A and B are shown apart, each in its own frame.
Chain A
């Protein structure tokens, strides 16, 4: 218990210690104070006609992002569909069926990395390296660009522009993702993760049977899948695979990389809007929710399944679906981190979490991926809640609500209120549709409330752009591939476009200097209020269905009934 607690506290502490300086560094990257790679920037942007001073209105910024994503989708879709015709396919895998290529391409361009397939048995090396790894970088970088643009918009006074998408994109990759990914990949190689163009090696097992062990450029893909909140593993079992995650040290490194950039963004934000307290308030709100999630998951898994009482050693907790190498605490931390950030990589099977443990993981996604969330977009998702909180509670101080001196008016409220629809539509409506169409029943592995949890988890993961799988749910059907794909696309841009519009509208407004009459958007009271708003909105939306899923399962187990 003490050892577990120490591990949790040390992991969190190490994460924050690394994220703070990174955040300040990133702020300087986005404000253009750091320029040591300007030659590379010029080389990439110059031919595209982007001058160092080029600025974009929010509409142009958004269109650039959408065009870039659409192009990325088209290229990836074609690579996956026709990988059998392309080089670097040593295992001779077939091209992907259309619905799977569609789902996978959307999944990677939206930074979701939901995998309806098993990596080592489906994807050619070219698909993995050129197709998927490229999107691991650029989909993460576009999310980061959004955050940079929004922070800039909030910080500026009566400005028409939010920056330049292409510059933000290139800077995110050059100054942040690439250096961090190189360092992490080298460290992982050192720790024993393979990095090779050989597809597999053959080995003779002790029984004398021949075994084919899949290999590939693993380390490079793992590094970016963790850092860019991508989560799409090289191997099907993701970070539970010994080649993805061989040791306790590699587990710690990859675990911290999940949340490193999302946490850093809080500090980047504080620096960019010129008030560190604003960034710290967001960090505190996200941090409180993360700690509660870790505690909830830990308690649920440590106590384990009461039906097993007397059958197994109660001290071991719920070890079903977990790697013995990582144990309860290593798996719990990962489950909490990966669903907090919209990473989606796993080192344990979430389907085997206790019902309440599964509920915590699911709820983190259903809250809209704002507990640090995806790189960049987690921060902007949180800002949407900040705007709603400021609007609801800000009236109570007797002024038109304002955030960072910008008045929150009908236009901003309309855009923010629209984003409230995304989770209910993506999760509730699409899951209900799947049930009504009869496709949910055939895809789940279990009956009753656990089956419902499997279904809900899949749609929560897609709509949250998380990508983690609960397992026990066969998503590789045309229906689910299509609708999960739609959910990913809808959620990604359903959040990004409104927040960029809000940033554009706020950038154009005057900034009222703060006074004693200003609603303070920092400090414990505001953090409490923000967390309460997020939890109440999330709870009110999902409590009924969660009551029928994980909660029903938990109370039934307590009553001695399993499914």
Chain B
């Protein structure tokens, strides 16, 4: 199997930066600016500054040159913020274009209900309930459910998975997606999606961010930023009155500059880019979120319900050890087991051969050619081989082998059998010519590294619960080995739903994944429900995220993406607000040092002149947006850790960094401004 997930688009590819630069100007449209209160305010203030400068130009005032520069940088601040959003959207657009290319343009064969008669209809006009026939080599026109036939389908356009998959009517593999191609055979599909609401349409809209709705947390942050903007408005508007009391006047253009440097333009400018980039990271992981809300909720997950099979274990029992009977060597047992399994194509059989070869290095010699193999039947519950020399080797369920041998089980072996069963494994007895040689220990093998993954989740404060149909004994053994926090044995869809409800009643947020129709209620009930793309339409409808790779371990990645999104937002907000301290130290002395020369003590940076101090602060304020675009798009580095550890680290980097960085930045810009005699 080869995977080629949507080709990764370089973070700042020229193909994106060019159109984004143009888009930045288009976004000056007030209707588009109004979506972002902070940047809208900045634009209004920039317009005001433009008028001030125009007046200054007409009256020939002395502050024309500096005013011109400040106004220019104010507009640049707005453009930079627009640019950040455009870059993030551009990455999504590039992905959407590749999806759009797969959309079918040919007509669909709509069945008329009389035999196999059909007429052609435009794929975009198909209504739910229509029946369409899709034959080999054709593209499936829209989302639907297979009601007749079986076909292998190439879904690589959507999933990037090149190996074709089987879709057939009935069961859990009946869903087909518009835009995928039938490779062989034919199917009849009942349309389930309304025009324009197919999976592909949703995916395109999602990555393009066209109908992007602000997520709840983003709205809350927007409100706070608007609040802070208002506070600074009061500060700046009243300042000339207090300055007047002190016998000094502050030029209007300086006030405008002070206001824009104080309001949280940095986070305001990057906020939507962070959100779009978060969705984009999810798409890159081949997961489609039906809403941004689900991504945020993923970061909040307290409990992760994971299916045992396929997620925690490989899904097949494998030979783990040979337990010989008294007086039998392990090699003897292993050889017999190996011989009996040579022709056994089941995963268990193969694993016995693998283990024997690994332990004792048996060679696939003549035995295979000379032996005649006895296949497993439900009646004998044994399989085996009759060798050329007449030796009769059998392996199978312990009681079947015992009765075949015609004697009661050996007491030592009996103990071994009980131990294996007790540990959640499956004992398999091996006999040679009626003599029981020993037991093969088969067990569910836990995926390597999964234990580490769970430990990581535990450090993040997330509890993992294993869901399995096994009996409690087996479940407990595997749970202990995998290191999950809890398990639900003998799980049924009802018990799963109950478990979710119970956790939620205690205030926890639950995530799970599933694919079958009977998973649908639980998927809908869970706060984050990840449906496998291979699953039924019902499951896909119930979940709020869809994993195109149908990989249940993806749940863990989704949680990480959600957390990273929130962390990026918080870190850049903290950085933005911490920046203000340095800006005061630059601008306040510049404004008032004439009235009170002693206030020069505030000028800790030793800036060139009051004019250059103000100009440097506003230039820094604009440039920092651009400097942070890569962080906004890539997301703040996130390594799983406890909340306290994350907080300490991020506070140090973005809190303390946000306090200190502008002192250095403004000073450096001031040196350049001085050098170029700009102020």
Contact = CB atoms under 8 A, between A and B. Distances in A.
Interface of A: 157, 388, 391-400, 405, 408-410, 412-414, 417-418, 420-421, 424-425, 428-429, 431-432, 435-436, 440, 448-449, 451-452, 510-513, 515-520, 523, 525, 529, 532, 536-537, 539-541, 543-545, 547-549, 551-552, 554-556, 558-559
B650 interface: yes
A512 B228 contact: no
B220 A413 contact: yes
B570 A396 contact: yes
Interface of B: 216-217, 219-221, 223-224, 226-228, 230-232, 234-235, 237-239, 241-246, 262, 296, 299-300, 302, 458-463, 504, 506-509, 562-564, 566-567, 569-571, 573-574, 577-578, 580-581, 584, 588, 591-592, 595-599, 601-602, 638, 642-644, 646-648, 650-651, 654-655
B528 to A, nearest CB: 13
A393 B577 CA distance: 11
Contact of A400 (B239, B243, B300, B599): B300
Contacts of B571: 395-396
B260 to A, nearest CB: 14
A548 B647 contact: no
Contact of B231 (A391, A449, A518, A541): A541
Interface centre among A512, A515, A517 (most CB of B within 10 A): A517
A452 B646 contact: no
A424 B476 CA distance: 61
26 contacts: A392-B570, A392-B574, A395-B567, A396-B570, A398-B567, A398-B638, A400-B217, A410-B216, A410-B220, A417-B228, A424-B234, A432-B237, A435-B244, A436-B241, A451-B245, A512-B302, A515-B462, A515-B463, A516-B459, A539-B581, A539-B584, A540-B584, A544-B239, A552-B592, A552-B598, A555-B596
A552 B596 contact: yes
Given A157-B507, A518-B643, 16 more contacts: A392-B224, A392-B573, A395-B573, A398-B564, A400-B217, A417-B223, A432-B238, A432-B241, A516-B642, A525-B648, A529-B651, A536-B577, A544-B239, A547-B602, A548-B592, A555-B598
Given A398-B564, A432-B242, A529-B651, A516 B219 contact: no
Given A388-B224, A519-B643, A555-B598, A428 B238 contact: yes
B588 A414 contact: no
A520 B650 CA distance: 14
A554 B602 CA distance: 13
A519 B647 contact: yes
B651 A548 contact: no
9 interchain residue pairs of minimum CB distance: A517-B461, A555-B598, A395-B570, A398-B563, A417-B227, A515-B461, A516-B461, A396-B570, A432-B238
B677 to A, nearest CB: 29
B427 to A, nearest CB: 39
Given A515-B463, A559-B598, A398 B646 contact: yes
A395 B601 CA distance: 36
B296 A396 contact: no
A547 B599 contact: yes
Nearest to A405: B507
Contacts, number: 216
Interface centre among A393, A394, A537 (most CB of B within 10 A): A393
Contact of A429 (B227, B238, B655): B238
A157 B506 CA distance: 10
Contacts of A515: 302, 461-463
A155 B475 CA distance: 38
Contacts of B564: 398
Contact of A393 (B228, B241, B570): B570
B224 A391 contact: yes
Given A392-B577, A421-B231, A525-B647, A399 B563 contact: yes
B588 A513 contact: no
Contacts of A448: 246
B518 to A, nearest CB: 27
B228 A548 contact: no
Contacts of B592: 547-548, 552
B461 A435 contact: no
Nearest to B596: A552
A70 to B, nearest CB: 28
Contacts of B232: 540
Contacts of A395: 217, 221, 566-567, 569-571, 573
B644 A520 contact: yes
Interface centre among A157, A400, A409, A418 (most CB of B within 10 A): A400
Contacts of B595: 548, 552
Contacts of B642: 516-517
A449 B247 CA distance: 10
Nearest to B642: A516
B561 to A, nearest CB: 10
B219 A410 contact: yes
B223 A410 contact: yes
A410 B262 CA distance: 23
A405 B509 CA distance: 12
Given A398-B564, A513-B508, A544-B235, A393 B647 contact: yes
Nearest to B650: A396
A165 B564 CA distance: 43
A393 B651 contact: yes
Contacts of A452: 242, 245-246
B507 A512 contact: yes
A541 B562 contact: no
Contacts of A397: 567, 570, 643, 646-647, 650
A16 to B, nearest CB: 27
B217 A544 contact: no
A429 B509 contact: no
A381 B227 CA distance: 17
B602 A540 contact: no
Nearest to A553: B596
A417 B221 CA distance: 10
Interface centre among A417, A440, A518, A559 (most CB of B within 10 A): A417
A545 B506 contact: no
Contact of A559 (B216, B597, B638, B651): B597
A559 B578 CA distance: 32
Contacts of B573: 392, 395
A547 B638 contact: no
Contact of B508 (A424, A425, A512, A554): A512
Contacts of A440: 245
Contact of A435 (B241, B580, B648): B241
A400 B245 contact: no
Contacts of B647: 393, 396-397, 519-520, 525
Contact of B220 (A409, A424, A516): A409
A408 B223 CA distance: 13
Nearest to B303: A515
A395 B654 CA distance: 12
A396 B574 contact: yes
A371 to B, nearest CB: 20
B246 A525 contact: no
Contacts of B239: 544-545
Nearest to B230: A421
Nearest to A558: B598
B643 A520 contact: yes
A417 B225 CA distance: 9
B584 A548 contact: no
Given A548-B242, A552-B246, A396 B654 contact: yes
Contacts of B655: 393, 532
A511 B227 contact: no
Nearest to B585: A543
B242 A544 contact: yes
A431 B238 contact: yes
Given A518-B461, A548-B242, A398 B566 contact: yes
A424 B235 contact: yes
A397 B571 CA distance: 9
